[in-house]
Structure formats: C-alpha cells, structure tokens
Amino acid sequence: MPARAALLALMLLLLAAAPAPDERLPAWDQWHTNEGNQTIRTLRAFGNCAVRVRAAAVATLLASGPGSAAESAAVAALVEGENHPCVYQTTRMTFRSRPVLRGIVAEFAYNGGHPDRHGLEPRPFAPGDGAGAGQWPDAPDWNRGRRLAACTVHRDPREVHALIGFNHDSPGETRSLRALRPAMLACLPEGGPLTLSRLAIRAMLAEALFHFARGEPSI
C-alpha cells in the first residue's frame, strides 16, 4: 500500500507540473469516428478525381486569390455540370468551405506529382508571404489560418509533407499535428485564439505545401 500511495502521489505531482495546453490553437484531438467518415471520404474522392479530369480548373483555382472573381469562376468550373464524372452516390456536390476545397485538390495534385520529401528544406518566411493576394470576406479565421499555414510550411515542410500522407483523422495525422504545433504557435497571427476544424487546417497546410514545393508564393 505505501508503494501504491507513493506512485499515486508521484503521478499527481507530474500531472500538476505538466504545462497547460496553449488555447490559442484548437487541440485537434483525434475522433476515431471520423476516420473513414463517409462525408469526408466523398469529398476526398471528389478531389482525387478532379485533379485528373478537371486539371485546368484545379490549376486555375489554386492560382486564384481568396475571395476573388477568378476563384468563384474556378470553383464553378470544378464542381458544376450535369453528370459530373467526380460526383458519386449523390446528384450535387456543395463545398461550403473554399479553403477545404482548395486544400483537398492541392493535396492530391501535390501527392500525384510524387514529391521528394528530402528535397524540402525550410526557408525564411518573409512578412509579405501568404498575404496581399486577396482575402475571403467576413472570414477572419480562414484568412489568419491561411497565413499560419504558409508560415508553418516554411518552418517545417517535411512534417507537413508527412501530415498529408496520412488518412484524415488517423493516428499518424494526430502525431504530425502535434509535431507541428510549436511551429504553428510561433506562426500564429495576431487576433486571439484561432478557431478552425482539423479538416480545415489540414487543407490549408496542404495548399501551402503545394505552392511551397513549386517555389511559388503561398498566396
């Protein structure tokens, strides 16, 4: 009993000494029910198909600025049309989140190019990188998240590469998000805590990596 009491006391001491999580970013804990989630699988199947059959629309979308007329036109060209070859088990595909759509197609476009992880080296993030190319109206967290993602990729591109190699909401994705957390906290723009879903931050990091690997500004 004394040994058990001592062990319990030690565990309580360690818990008390553990630093509190920084609440400026969500915890992005893993939800096992989301791994294999049918909605997310459908969105990702759409992205995987779209980069092959509507490649021009994907390229135009990823070259467009957030909130621009070019972005709206590219989204329409990408998702609309009767008998869409990339829409499965439904008659209509609606993306309420522009960053998620951009990120999903960017992820498949990036991975489809068979990138070399070892060729990714950190680079300084200039104050103007990831800004000045338009913003989504009335979506401050989307805009801050986009800048956060661009900065994070510049700091640790190899870990972002690892992140998008895992299934959504998988243990591997959880490990990569935890590994990236110090970089993301260092990159967090002003404006208070950031509220973004796990799916959204993955999408923003994917698009930022797509541009980074091509030597383009992370617009």
Give residue-wise pLDDT tens across range 10-51. Answer: 444 444 444 445 788 988 886 655 656 778 888 888 999 999
Residue 91 lies in a domain: yes
Q: Phi first, then psi: what are they for 17, rounded to 5°?
A: -85, -15
Measured distance CA(57)–CA(149) in Å, rounded: 23
Residue 5 lies in a domain: no
How many domains, the chain? Answer: 1
Residue 90: alpha-carbon gap to chain centroid: 25
Taking the alpha carbons at both ends of the chain, their separation in whole angstroms is 61
Give residue-wise pLDDT tens across range 188-219. Answer: 988 888 989 999 999 999 999 999 999 887 65
Give residue-wise pLDDT tens across range 56-111. Answer: 999 999 999 999 999 999 999 998 877 788 876 555 667 788 999 999 999 999 99
Average of per-residue pLDDT values in the chain: 83
Residue 11 lies in a domain: no
pLDDT for 219 equals 59
Residue 200 lies in a domain: yes
pLDDT for 212 equals 93
Domain of residue 151, residue span: 30-213
Residue 14 lies in a domain: no
CA-only gyration radius of the chain, Å: 19
pLDDT for 131 equals 47
Residue 158 lies in a domain: yes
Residue 1 lies in a domain: no
pLDDT for 72 equals 93
